[in-house]
Amino acid sequence: MSFLSKQKVIDGFQKAKASKTKEWRDNLPTWCPGCGHFTGLHGLYEAAETLKILPKDFVVVSGIGCSGRFPFFIKGFGLHGLHGRAIPIATGIKVASPDLTVVVVGGDGDGVGIGGGHFPHAARSNFNLTYILLDNSIYGLTKGQVSPTSPMGMKSGTSPYGNIARPLNPTTLALAYGATFVARTFSRERDMVSDLITRAIQHKGFSFIHDLSPCVVFNKDVTYGSVNSVTAQLPEEHDILDRSNAMSLAESTEPVYQGLFFQEEIPSFDDHVKQVKDGLNKSD
């Protein structure tokens, strides 16, 4: 990780030491040193702390993969579910207990591969959930097979001659599915990750964060260096209410933009349920 200056590393350690997020830490994370997922976890600690959420009101639901271990590392309630099924479990929790803050965390294989059928329906229904997709473009836990976001040509245990399928782009999928908050982050940008997770939790409706989170052990193609060389902040003039412009910016591969692409305030699933209940009570 030679692109990180020594000063930046020292600043990071000092910031972590001074951080108030200790309250939110639980079991010691078991990820490999340097794994991008640490930034997402720290971002969630900071968001929970900033928003003064109480652990009793907080639930993290995950699927399977290295990201699946997330609920063990943060206070509150947690559920390490089945592969690809974190979203339906989370929607059930939210429907039963609408006052809880419910966060779904998963990887690229879990979210847009095995569980890819659940993502559009949570987005179009505008469930009041936050979904953080930690994208390392590989199946890390099972030691390096191509995933739905692996670039074409990428060599792996299951693609020794290079990946022959085109990658999915989770940011454009979220926009196409009707998500009401869509952001892309990169785990090197710690402050941005924390800020956008905080705003995503505050958003009333389905909020999606596509976090580019390199696997430093099994992915030799999508690395901190390769991602860093193509990422750029969204243009300042971008209007976050403009879904079609957000879509064209999200499709760009050079540069790969990061930041808040889109946000709109429309009634959430909870609001619609309340409306229906109020209507039924009136007609009684």
Does 140 bind ligand SF4 (CB under 6 A)? Our answer is: yes
Selected range binding Mg ion among 91-99, 107-115, 217-225, 258-266, rule: CB under 5 A: 107-115
Selected range binding ligand SF4 among 46-54, 147-155, 197-205, 211-219, rule: CB under 6 A: 211-219
| C-alpha distance from residue 151 to each of 30, 179, 193, 196 (Å) | 27, 24, 23, 26
Q: Pick what 66 binds: Mg ion, ligand SF4, none; C-beta below 5 to 8 Å, kind-dependent.
A: ligand SF4
Identify residues 98-117 at the interface with ligand SF4 (CB under 6 A): none
Give the CB-side neighbour count of residue 135, counting CA atoms within 13 A.
27
CA distance 261 to 245: 9
Judged by CB under 6 A, the residue of 21, 24, 35, 234 near ligand SF4 is: 35
Pairing of strands 231-233, 58-62: unpaired
Q: Which of 102, 65, 59, 94 is nearest to 82 (CA)?
A: 65
Q: Cβ(211)–Cβ(132) under 8 Å?
A: yes
Does 108 bind Mg ion (CB under 5 A)? Our answer is: yes
Report residue 228 as tokens: 């860093």
Does 188 bind ligand SF4 (CB under 6 A)? Our answer is: no
Does 82 bind ligand SF4 (CB under 6 A)? Our answer is: no
Does 227 bind ligand SF4 (CB under 6 A)? Our answer is: no
Q: Pick what 79 binds: ligand SF4, Mg ion, none; C-beta below 5 to 8 Å, kind-dependent.
A: none
Helix H or strand E encompassing 245: helix 243-251
Shortest reach from residue 167's CB to Mg ion, in Å: 12
Does 36 bind Mg ion (CB under 5 A)? Our answer is: no
| C-alpha distance from residue 5 to each of 11, 18, 106, 111, 260 (Å) | 10, 20, 30, 33, 26
Judged by CB under 6 A, the residue of 16, 32, 79, 230 near ligand SF4 is: 32
Shortest reach from residue 194's CB to Mg ion, in Å: 22
SS3 8: helix
Does 156 bind Mg ion (CB under 5 A)? Our answer is: no
DSSP 234: P
SS3 256: strand
Selected range binding Mg ion among 28-36, 133-141, 167-175, 231-239, rule: CB under 5 A: 133-141
Binding site for ligand SF4 (CB under 6 A): 31-32, 35, 37, 66, 136, 140-141, 215-218
Binding site for Mg ion (CB under 5 A): 107-108, 136
